Chains A and B, each alone.
Chain A
């Protein structure tokens, strides 16, 4: 079970959290302007990398807030967590 650090509450066990998939995929301001392929990209296509991944978590059984995390999907190590709306942190070093 992961240990997830909520930016608002601190480190808590994973069962307090709900996962939300890839982060930084903003809902288009005007979906009707997108063609079907672009809309499908938004809905379904994900980078799914083996390595650092920006992803969404919700502290569902805690403060209830959504936030983002950088996690290495190869090792499951968290590199950073940060409130929703913030830019993806630059960890430097090319990671």
Chain B
């Protein structure tokens, strides 16, 4: 029979919309509006999973996001499979396949259940006490077995097929939770047009009003009040309603993160909607109306499938029209279960209620139920349950005021609803760093003083009565004080820890944390062993550490510790709640930041030309730069050799646009640079360039580059590719905070100027016909000079500079014209065999000349003198950034690592960059290392391999043979000057 446990009428499901899903290969019929848990229960499925440690059969405990047991894998098709979904949260959707986890070979017959028999040797923390012998076995034998046994579901193996999006919003009031308090808060807050966002994790707003069928508010049925409230809110343009949206993180300064489930509840074959949407809301005021969680009762075998929370039984009956059983026993220590029992009876179920409290404590509940024909057993404790894969009975016994337990009897049943009272959901409040306060009257922590602009309302702060919740929510939303009239809610409970029992409590399993299989005796053991802080108890027993983060178990664990230690609960402390409130999909947090959007890719203006001409690219920071331009059949080595030869022999062209460029302008521009760089700037003439090095205040090289003086009050500064942003920030910092008296303006022009490096003996020949207004003759436009004019009719700042050691120009043109100028140079250069070269050839060419690259020869621990640039320091300068640090004792030591050349004895051996250097390769380990290879290339110009290295006391070691690590051993190499080609630097003047 289809849906044998579906009630014939009622519920909020849409019986006109049947759907079908699969559970462990079996067809499950359901209706729109069902959760998967409701669908399973409607079809009589009780056993839905196995517990983490003991593999005990487990069913559905709750109806919401606090569910610890019913964790399923959900399969929505390829790339849409994921584990550990709470059946109570996943909405039933047509065609999805769900399956149980953590068992072998099957849910019904799970060999892992042997752990349940072994449980006497598997108490809390057993693994800290064993698996230590022999030493090597932990990693080889024990740990792999433990790992295989642990874990819940199986991680996906395919890339996620879904997409996720982000949304940012501001509002005056964010209301979290759309139950009675939250609805009232949203109504009050939005009344005057203020922007309000109301979010609730459920598919429908209303909270308890969705299943409380008999309450009235202001004289009308509560359901009507709810509908009216929602209609009012929906009609207000200033209100955003976010159902299926969980606020999971409360961060600094009222920054709230929420996840909206957009896609999973739809059948989505052709749907372009995202699966989930991350909202990040900055709210002026936050109202937390997050409700409360019901506590299970702690008694032996309280985990059998069919044993649920009492309110959840009520929800399944009233909201989903599902009978969780036909004979239901409610077991309670408080009043709220009486309403559940009455509703179950009204649905035609056979109901009994057992209350731990004496009749006199129970108020009007027993009489109300008895009037409905329900058997009520006050002053009874629960000592166990029967059944295996489903509960078949609840074992109860009378208990007197002294805790003396009388004779047992078994109440046959196929469903249990238990209630140990309520715990306000203070998670977000705690995340906001508000201090919690213990309220003895309701045995719970409630929000104390807020730390941010936040108000808690309703059950989230321990107010359980409907009328009071409404008034409290209304006030939290900023409404003027008003009263609501509503049916009184039965509240109040007696806090109980482990229920009194006649059994040996040391030997029964009374579960506190269902998912992690933590029992009351585990808690007792932890305390016995000295773990008294509740954080220690958590960590030692793992209670509260499961995927439900202890929503149903924390208070029981805390209460047990307090009881054992005989201390008030607040002295044991409460745990700090951390985000997220419920687990959040990684992909939701990532959003669209995948692939090319993970990090932006920066490309220079000539990128497309390079790509079209066969360039291979490398990542340099965010940049994608042309690495080399292999011709068909060429490997990288051959391409780089050819590119280098072209520059040395004729002319090469290179996209240097990634260089950072900063325009430094103002009366004091020269003085400013004078203070920032190690070298002198005051006397540099307009039209001239100078290579500059700058330090951080600690004396280590920070950046370098050529600076041109365009006018007395105007400099064109270049930085390294990676240094552009941080050099500007560094300059701004000093300018604004240390020398605000200087009149200088800094502007980044990195994106405005494209830079085409034209290098080689024929560079002038290629350039000359295209330039107007600049005399290119060597005498009038020498090396390290800059001119302005036009090229191809485009304005240019033409630098005569060289990073290759050849005659060369760096042609700055407005970025939009770069391609046209490049193409013109390219066409003009054909007769000279003009050759595009990439970053690798650039590296080789500069290394041949011994030019450093900041970040390759330097690493943040290198001074100018270390790389042979000590002579650049303007001795006459009283001060510059970093100067004082260069006078520290360690900076003056002769054994500092200094830049040298290194020539392997085998001329064709290209040493590895990063290779270490020693004097004696036969010394014992640990060896004394002298330094490392910073750059190493094959050099066609030198006819051999060359390398640069930082070597301790290197300049005093010229001619020495040192030994360099290789993948196969040491290679001898001779220390040489760090210039390998054109040592006098004559070619640049050609």
Contacts and interface: CB of A to CB of B under 8 A. Distances in A.
A–B contact, 8 Å CB criterion (strictly below): yes
B450 to A, nearest CB: 12
Given A84-B736, A85-B740, A32 B879 contact: yes
B736 A31 contact: no
B252 interface: yes
A85 B740 CA distance: 9
Question: What 8 pairs between A and B have smallest CB-CB spacing?
Answer: A31-B884, A3-B253, A66-B736, A27-B738, A76-B252, A1-B255, A66-B737, A84-B737
B729 A43 contact: no
Interface of A: 1-3, 13, 18, 20, 26-27, 30-32, 34, 36, 39, 43, 56, 58, 60, 64-66, 75-76, 84-85
A43 B732 contact: no
Given A20-B733, A27-B738, A31-B884, A2 B253 contact: yes
Interface in B886-904: 887-889
Given A64-B732, A84-B736, A36 B879 contact: no
Contact of B282 (A3, A26, A27, A76): A3
A65 to B, nearest CB: 7
B449 to A, nearest CB: 12
A13 B252 CA distance: 11
A30 B883 CA distance: 11
A60 B738 contact: no
A1 B878 contact: no
A64 B662 CA distance: 15
B229 interface: no
Given A27-B697, A31-B884, 16 more contacts: A1-B251, A3-B252, A13-B282, A27-B738, A30-B878, A32-B878, A32-B879, A32-B883, A32-B884, A36-B888, A36-B889, A39-B885, A43-B697, A66-B732, A66-B736, A84-B736
B215 interface: no
A18 B251 CA distance: 19
A76 B883 CA distance: 36
B252 A1 contact: yes
A43 B451 CA distance: 35
Nearest to A60: B729
Contacts of A30: 878-879
Given A30-B879, A32-B879, A58 B252 contact: no
A75 B451 CA distance: 8
A59 to B, nearest CB: 11
Contacts of B885: 39, 43
Contacts of A18: 729
A58 B732 CA distance: 10
Contacts of B729: 18, 58, 60
Nearest to B880: A31
Nearest to A26: B738
B377 to A, nearest CB: 51
A9 B519 CA distance: 56
Interface in B233-288: 251-255, 282
Contacts of A20: 733
Nearest to A38: B884
A32 B887 contact: yes
22 contacts: A1-B255, A3-B252, A3-B254, A26-B738, A27-B738, A31-B883, A31-B884, A32-B878, A32-B879, A39-B884, A39-B888, A43-B697, A43-B698, A43-B885, A58-B732, A58-B733, A66-B732, A66-B736, A66-B737, A76-B252, A84-B737, A84-B740
Contacts of A65: 736
Nearest to A18: B729
A81 B807 CA distance: 53
A90 B299 CA distance: 60
Nearest to B883: A31
Contacts of B255: 1, 3
B696 to A, nearest CB: 10
